[in-house]
Structure formats: C-alpha cells, structure tokens
Structure 1
C-alpha cells in the first residue's frame, strides 16, 4: 500500500506542477484573471494533498487501514475538487458545460476534510509517545 500511495503522491505532485506551468503560461491569455486564480486554487490543493500522501505513505506510525482510507479519500477528493475546479476555470474553452457538474466540488472538498480527520483520529489513537 505504501508504494501505491507514494507513486500516486508523486503523480499528483508532478501533474500539479505541470498544471501550474500550463496555467501560468498557456492559459494566461485565454481566461480571465479570476478564472486563472480559480485554476491556481485547484492546483494548490492538489499539491497540498500530494504532500499529504507523501507523508502518509512514508510514515510507519499511521495504521495501514487508515492509510488505505486516507489514500482513497484524497485521490477521489482531489479528482472531484481540483478536477472540477480546473473544468470550471476553463469552462469557456470547452464545449462541455462544467457548471452542470459543479456539485462535485464540495463533495471533493468534504472527502479531503475527512482524510485529514482520519489522520487526526489515527494519531490520537496511537499508543506511542504521548
């Protein structure tokens, strides 16, 4: 599981940097400043959660069960939250109306919150150093 988490974290981090560069250079002239800031929010949250997964995957204190739940909550959360934000920010550039699926943004955000909450619970249950 740890290897899967670390590889996924690396992919999320890599694509976050790619999306950041694309936003800064490729989208600058194509979308509004407000939309560009929205796009950057999605990218920033993706990177934050890539770093979270790197931490989770390389930490031996966190239980494997918690790691598995955190992995799936973060992966789906990033896809829903950041993915929908990317779509909404670039909505004017596509034929698909991303506003029709905007309801998944808060669902993704809730999944990310749950992942952090699970981490807190796992740390609180830890019987190691107090």
Structure 2
C-alpha cells in the first residue's frame, strides 16, 4: 500500500521534472516528432502515477478488503511506466525506431493494471 503511494509520487515528480526538462533543456535537441513522443511519455507517466496513488489509498484505507488484485494492478502500472514511458523517452532522444516495439508492452501492462482495479473493486469491494 505505502509502496504504491510512494512510487506514484515518485513517478509524478519525475513526470513534472522530465516535462520541464524537455521544455527547457531539450528544446534545441528534440524535433517536433521527438517532442511529441516525449510529451506522450510524460502524459502517460502522470496518468499512471495518479493511478498508483489511487491504488495505494484504496489499500491503505482497506476499502477493498482483499488487496491481492490491487497489488497486481500496482506492479503492472509501475512496470507499464517503465516500458511505455521509458521506451518513448529513449526513442525521443535516440531516434531508434525499434524501441517503438517495446512501448506496446507497457500499454498492455497499463490495461492489465486497470482491469485488475475493476475486477478487484467489483469482486471484493465492500
């Protein structure tokens, strides 16, 4: 529970920092395509940082009861951020297109995370 609040806050902090870094430090490095990719990575990182905070709060308040599904959701979202946003950050900087093949793994992990939240709340919710 606490681990997802902390990891969500860390991912939120990093999303803000990386967004600002792109705007100020990478303005002369990234072309429009790279800047768009970077912005998408920041956006999805922040969305899922918020998702991690929600998971952590649900777990800490014992709102659900059985937290196994929420635990899986949290780990999927953390891994999804690494695969999805991480691959896009590297792609934006390097231009190595093959990294785009890694991004969908993160997207699938995001979907699994959200599905586990839905499943757990419907099945275990008080």
TM-score of the two chains, using structure 1 as the length reference: 0.87
What 5-or-longer segments of structure 2 have no aligned partner?
none
Give the secondary structure class of the aligned counterpart of 1:90: helix
Corresponding residue number in structure 2 for 1:27? 26
Q: Per-residue deviation at 1:127? A: 4.9
More helix by share: 2
Q: Is the 8 A contact 2:80 2:109 kept in 1?
A: yes
**Alpha-carbon distance between aligned partners in 2 of 1:105 and 1:127, rounded to the nearest angstrom:** 32
Corresponding residue number in structure 2 for 1:12? 11
TM-score of the two chains, using structure 2 as the length reference: 0.90
**Alpha-carbon distance between aligned partners in 1 of 2:6 and 2:113, rounded to the nearest angstrom:** 18
Q: Cα 1:75–1:127, aligned 2, differ >3 Å: closer, same or farther? A: closer
Q: Does 1:61 align with 2:60?
A: no
Q: Is the 8 A contact 1:77 1:111 kept in 2?
A: yes
Give the secondary structure class of the aligned counterpart of 1:102: helix
Q: Does 1:75 align with 2:75?
A: no
Q: Calculate the aligned-residue CA RMSD, in Å.
A: 1.3
Q: Is the 8 A contact 1:61 1:126 kept in 2?
A: no
Q: Cα 1:34–1:127, aligned 2, differ >3 Å: closer, same or farther? A: closer
Corresponding residue number in structure 1 for 2:91? 88
Give the secondary structure class of the aligned counterpart of 2:28: coil
**Alpha-carbon distance between aligned partners in 2 of 1:28 and 1:57, rounded to the nearest angstrom:** 35
Give CA-to-partner distance per residue, 1:26-72, whole Å, 9 cap, x none.
11111111210110100110000010011110113233201210111
What 5-or-longer segments of structure 1 have no aligned partner?
93-97
Corresponding residue number in structure 2 for 1:109? 107
